[in-house]
Structure 1
């Protein structure tokens, strides 16, 4: 059965997996990133999540409510974990320095595997689409994952703005 699942997986799915693994390896090393680059992965993950919810459950009160609850929880957790030890703002370069971490890889793989497993489960048992508990659990997980990415992004952007404002005040 596993062989059949893998054989019937579209090639583009493996391309997304390769891209996410590549980005995860890059994130494991210390690096400087532009503000634009900092936003790429959180926005890609958000798009994958929204596509997964829309295609599987549709945008309704249950799916969006549980997704939003997960988003808020993940965002609060992630916001609190960002600090000067793992992120340094470089306003003079319009960049952000990130200390390397495998956390991004783990999170991207969690989202990918959740989306992949949900797709396989729905393909095997289409009735799961209409099961409230399944829909709520999946949407909550997607929201939590997105919140972890977006919370970090928002915290970094806030830190950047504060630092840039401080530099402008000193120059004035």
Structure 2
């Protein structure tokens, strides 16, 4: 299938999502402070995208759900590992997190979008049922891992925020 046909056949919402995700990735390259709630957006977007695919794809069955969950758990572990090795500062009073600039979110976003886009094209053009089943499972794995990585990073910031709140509360009562 020609590239022009693939691009023209892609729904507008996919391009809007790409622009939004790229803007978040470029913003993450600069250090800055963000509300904890805002840091939840990208994990929620990738989780919702993955779950929506599992719900709407007629070929996605329990095996796809299982692959997504296993991928998400592996991704969470990786996200926690990555975030715990990053210097970040939480402010429980302002409910913000100060993060150093990093290319990692942008790289993850680009790789994920490219993989999901490629898989979407393959799913739309595959002629073999076996190939379709393999692409559905691969898509579930990619989706779960990426959602998990972003969720694991967010979980690390959330846990640090709550730990800091407990320490502050104990020090105020002492």
State the Cα RMSD in Å. Answer: 1.9
The change in CA–CA distance for 1:171 and 1:67 in structure 2 (over 3 A counts) is same
CA contact (8 A) 2:60 2:136 kept: no
Matches within 5 A, 1:13-92: 13-57=14-58, 60-83=61-84, 85-92=86-93
1:42-97: CA deviation from partner (whole Å, max 9, x where unpaired):
10111111122323356532011111111111111111222374321111321111
Other structure's SS at 1:97 match: strand
Alignment-derived partner of residue 105 in structure 2: 104
CA contact (8 A) 1:129 1:135 kept: no
Q: So what's the TM-score if we normalise by structure 1? A: 0.90
Q: More deviation in 121-130 or 136-145? A: 121-130
Q: So what's the TM-score if we normalise by structure 2? A: 0.89
CA contact (8 A) 2:65 2:140 kept: yes
The change in CA–CA distance for 1:129 and 1:151 in structure 2 (over 3 A counts) is farther
Q: More deviation in 79-88 or 135-144? A: 79-88
Deviation at 1:142, TM superposition (A): 1.0
Deviation at 1:114, TM superposition (A): 2.3
Q: More deviation in 125-134 or 50-59? A: 125-134
Other structure's SS at 2:33 match: strand
1:147-166: CA deviation from partner (whole Å, max 9, x where unpaired):
10111111111111001110
**Structure 2, unpaired ranges of 5+:** none
Within the alignment, does 1:114 sit opposite 2:115 as a pair?
yes
Alignment-derived partner of residue 135 in structure 2: 134
Deviation at 1:109, TM superposition (A): 1.9
CA contact (8 A) 2:59 2:133 kept: no
The change in CA–CA distance for 1:164 and 1:25 in structure 2 (over 3 A counts) is same
The change in CA–CA distance for 1:52 and 1:126 in structure 2 (over 3 A counts) is farther
CA contact (8 A) 2:79 2:149 kept: yes
Q: More deviation in 76-85 or 32-41? A: 76-85
Quote the Cα distance in structure 2 between the aligned partners of 1:22 and 1:117: 21
Q: More deviation in 60-69 or 131-140? A: 131-140
